[in-house]
Amino acid sequence: MDRITLTGVTAVGYHGVFDFERREGQPFVVDAVLYLDFTEAAQSDDVRDTAHYGEVAQRITDWITAEPLNLIEALAVRIADSLLAEFSLHAVDITVHKPQAPIEVPFGDVAVTVHRERVPAAHALSGTTA
């Protein structure tokens, strides 16, 4: 499977379980790996036949700056699900970094990663999974 890797999409969000996180905000950094087939895009050489990574980056930023969530796990799942719904992807890996998380010991980064795959239409209708 072919991949587009987009790293370091950064925006200020207001996610977290503490009041001060929701009040003051902090940077969130998202990495995305988009799994798709490049065959059609390679033949046409047309951006409409692939996942436009500029549009993907904008959607990620929209989610970072959207209504606050308690958990970065919830943010990662929402980003992954929305990208699968909007773009012709087979699967996506989303990593959300919270480099200024309120942790009381020295640390370099905290991140969560989710992997989501498109459910084939036949499986979605029958309620089964692959």
Give the C-alpha separation, 55 to 115, whole Å.
20
Let me know: does 2 contact 35? Beta carbons within 8 Å. yes
Contacts (Cβ under 8 Å, ≥6 apart) of 93 = 31, 32, 33, 35, 80, 113, 114, 115
**Two tokens, residue 8:** 């370091």
Tell me the β-bridge partners of 112: 96
- Active-site positions read 98
State the angle between helix axes of 53-64 and 72-86 in degrees (0 to 180), rounded to the nearest 10.
150
CA proximity to 32, closest of 55, 58, 6: 6
